[in-house]
Amino acid sequence: MASEINRGQRISAFPDLSWLSAAFFSLPLLPVAAFAAPKHAPPLPPGTVAAPTKLSSAAIVAASTATPSTDKVYEDVRMLLEVLSDIRQDYVEKTDPRTLLYGAAEGMVRRLDPFSQFLEPQANQDLKTETKGEFGGLGVRVSAEGEWLDVITAIPDTPAFDAGLLPEDRILAIDGASTKGMSNWDAVGKLRGKPGSEVTLLVSRRADGGGESRFTVTLKRQEIKIRTVDTSVSDDHIAYLRVVEFNAKTPEDVLRSLERDRKKGATSLILDLRNNPGGLLDAAVKVAGFFLPAGKLITYTEGRNPLSRVEYRGEGAPTSPDWPMAVLVNENSASGAEIVAGALQDDGRAVVIGERTYGKASVQSVIPLANSCALRLTVAHYYTPQGRLIQRDEKKHTGGISPDITVPVPDSEKDKLFRQWELIYAKGKSPRSAVKKRDQVPDDALDMADSVLRARRALMRLGTGRG
């Protein structure tokens, strides 16, 4: 069929679909349960790189014959191919058939929900890179909000940091290509690459006496581990642990941070999940399990298919502290962050403070397709251990994780607060906030968590004294 269209032959009514008809009606009928859910593994969340076994097109076509609407489905497929044929032959400009098919797949998936997604080859590879938690790059965070590409910070122990790139440096060109008007996405694509390869940057830096200095630096890309955890311990022995997202490296980083905090004398913990969009389900379950007894239910999934009912339980961690805990959340805490907060809240392990979370609880499987594409498909929803549906339903005003203590943040302060959480680094100096102290806004939720843990400690001492 494709060869006929490529030769520009006009098909009077519609392309010959005898091959499709044969595929539909010569295959044995398969039970729906045989392909509705993978047998070898439970569904996985958004961002996971693991995927169920690819369903063959034969199985999918055969499945269609198991429903009474076979004729309707067949006609709809004919219509899709007819549109493809008409565009290929009559559209004013020459078109690429693969681009058209990708567009059709993308549009079809977009009708389902905001989280299902058709992934073209590059997007599929990017997804694997992000969730793996490492990539070939320079270790520099950049912003393209202005006209040029500005450095936010270089990450310690990376090529960018070792080369002395500083906050507010401006990257004017990447391998000779001007960054003026370049998007963040394009810039990151040019900065990343195969470990061991080189990239040359033209950098502008503000001079102390005004003006600027320019210099060129050639850096060798290396495998960059995405840092998802920041930690510190206050003078009052309260550990602060911020988890930015959940990738493959996060559980290991969390355990390492907890052990370091213990050695610094921490006796209680604030777990900050604000603006955490989630990530890998496995990583979120492991982190929640660090603070709960082994075997404790963390979350479970349910969907249309009975096989989608899967329970996820924590493995426990004998080295994790049994400290009093507060968990911080906001309206941008989603997916894995909500699973962790919900599990700790249901168990009574931690007090949850902040704002109602986003309510993104779609369980998604990443199914590999032809041409290195993939389909990220919603197959179920998450529930907390006590059966609360995390997925938000605005009509019913349900979903998300409602905090035990609500601390609203004015809209005028949300961006400022998010910005001041960003840490910037420079050689020989301690990390500092991206926002100068005089310009920072109060972090009321963090202050509330600190007060709650201090009050709890005081009550315990009072109780012991009367014991």
Q: Residues with catalytic annotation?
A: 335, 346, 360
Tokens of residue 264, six digits:
């610094």
Rg, the chain, Cα only: 26
Q: Reduce the DSSP state of residue 444 to 3 states and report it.
A: helix
Question: Taking the CB of residue 132, how many other CB atoms lie within 10 A of it?
Answer: 15
176 burial (CB, 10 Å; 0-12 / 13-18 / 19+) is exposed
Q: Reduce the DSSP state of residue 4 to 3 states and report it.
A: helix
String of b and e for 353-376 (b: at least 16 CB within 10 Å)? bbbbbbbbbbbbbbbebeeebbbb
Terminal Cα-to-Cα distance of the chain (whole angstroms): 86
Whether the CB-CB separation of 139 and 160 falls below 8 Å is answered with yes
Whether the CB-CB separation of 251 and 309 falls below 8 Å is answered with no
Q: H or E segment at 447?
A: helix 444-466
DSSP single-letter state for residue 41: S
Q: H or E segment at 216?
A: strand 212-220
Residues paired with residue 350 on neighbouring β-strands, in sequence order:
325
Residue from 222, 199, 202, 221 nearest 212 by CA:
202
- ∠ Cα 116 47 182 (to 5°): 90
In 118-266, where does DSSP find H-type helix? 121-132, 159-162, 184-191, 250-263
What distances in angstroms separate CA 164 from CA 135, 175, 205, 438, one per listed residue?
21, 18, 11, 26
Give the phi and the psi of residue 140 in degrees, each rounded to 5: -135, 135
